[in-house]
């Protein structure tokens, strides 16, 4: 619990517990293997890898790349939100085409440099992400307490991780108003940039996401009960959690790297 008495929810993915988590298999500190997975049977399925490669991972965000109509007028880091979406889309595309079968130092170094969003991803961070992911549900409150972020940033991230899918337009307005607050608050510039970047990621993604009412195998748990969310929103929540995991490793750049990696792994497991 932080300054305003806000308690962060737990984050869960049902498929992770039932077997699809084998899609993300921590093999060693040097390599994290990504295996094709047959959701229907719950077994690794290399015979159907061709089908899996052709399958689009549900979050249809490619058209945001050239789209500026949804830009936040009061966010100086709005472009970074779009660059996150481009980065996510590039990695998912390569995974679908069979170009990525494991995460090692070489692969992580390549994608951390080739994607549009400036970030930093190391094997240390990748291992941390996988460890957090495998502990379902993810206790976000504990991660925030360990994040070295200010109480204000922890509270904002808690607000971001509590899904507001019921009224998308209201949520977009909330993000714009929150930007004004973030710009005025006295917090470290690195944290301010991170919060505004996450706001931009949420804004640009939420403005485009379709079928937001369709619930998947992901959601949050609070003292008031469980709330299921769409797969698209699940990836956005995962981005925030990845940022929290990454921030203690090397600050803002690792936070953005964690946001990318946690989002991609979530997409792979839910696909």
Q: For each of the chain's 271 residues, which pLDDT tens digit applies?
A: 444 455 677 877 765 433 433 444 454 445 454 443 332 233 333 333 333 333 443 333 433 333 444 678 899 999 998 999 899 889 888 888 888 877 788 888 888 889 999 999 888 888 888 888 888 888 888 889 888 899 999 999 988 887 655 677 888 889 999 999 999 999 999 999 999 999 999 998 865 554 444 566 788 887 777 878 888 888 888 999 999 999 999 899 999 999 999 998 888 887 7
Give residue 230's domain range: 10-24+49-62+75-270
**Does residue 35 sit within a domain?**
no
**Does residue 221 sit within a domain?**
yes
Do the Cβ atoms of 100 and 94 come closer than 8 Å?
yes
Q: How many domains does the chain have?
A: 1
**Does residue 213 sit within a domain?**
yes
**Three-class DSSP category at 26:** strand
What's the rounded Cα separation, in Å, for the pair 250 and 17? Answer: 30
**Does residue 238 sit within a domain?**
yes
**Does residue 4 sit within a domain?**
no
**Does residue 80 sit within a domain?**
yes
**Three-class DSSP category at 226:** strand
Q: What does pTM read for this prediction?
A: 0.78
**Does residue 70 sit within a domain?**
no
């Amino acid at each position: 619990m932080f300054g305003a008495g806000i308690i962060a929810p737990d984050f869960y993915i049902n498929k992770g517990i039932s077997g699809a988590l084998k899609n993300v298999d921590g093999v060693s500190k040097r390599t994290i293997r990504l295996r094709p997975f047959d959701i229907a049977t719950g077994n690794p399925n290399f015979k159907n890898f061709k089908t899996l490669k052709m399958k689009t991972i549900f979050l249809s965000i490619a058209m945001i790349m050239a789209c500026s109509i949804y830009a936040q007028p009061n966010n100086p880091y709005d472009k970074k939100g779009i660059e996150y979406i481009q980065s996510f889309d590039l990695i998912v595309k390569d995974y679908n085409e069979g170009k990525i079968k494991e995460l090692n130092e070489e692969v992580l170094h390549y994608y951390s440099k080739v994607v549009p969003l400036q970030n930093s991803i190391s094997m240390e961070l990748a291992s941390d992400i996988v460890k957090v992911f495998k502990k379902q549900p993810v206790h976000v409150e504990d991660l925030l307490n360990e994040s070295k972020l200010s109480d204000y940033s922890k509270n904002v991230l808690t607000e971001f991780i509590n899904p507001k899918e019921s009224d998308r337009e209201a949520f977009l307005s909330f993000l714009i108003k929150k930007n004004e607050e973030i710009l005025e608050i006295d917090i470290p510039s690195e944290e301010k940039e991170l919060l505004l970047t996450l706001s931009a990621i949420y804004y640009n993604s939420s403005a485009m996401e379709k079928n937001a009412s369709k619930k998947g195998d992901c959601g949050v748990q609070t003292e008031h009960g469980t709330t299921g969310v769409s797969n698209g929103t699940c990836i956005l929540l995962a981005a925030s959690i990845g940022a929290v995991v990454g921030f203690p490793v090397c600050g803002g750049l690792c936070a953005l790297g964690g946001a990318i990696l946690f989002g991609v792994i979530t997409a792979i497991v839910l696909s």
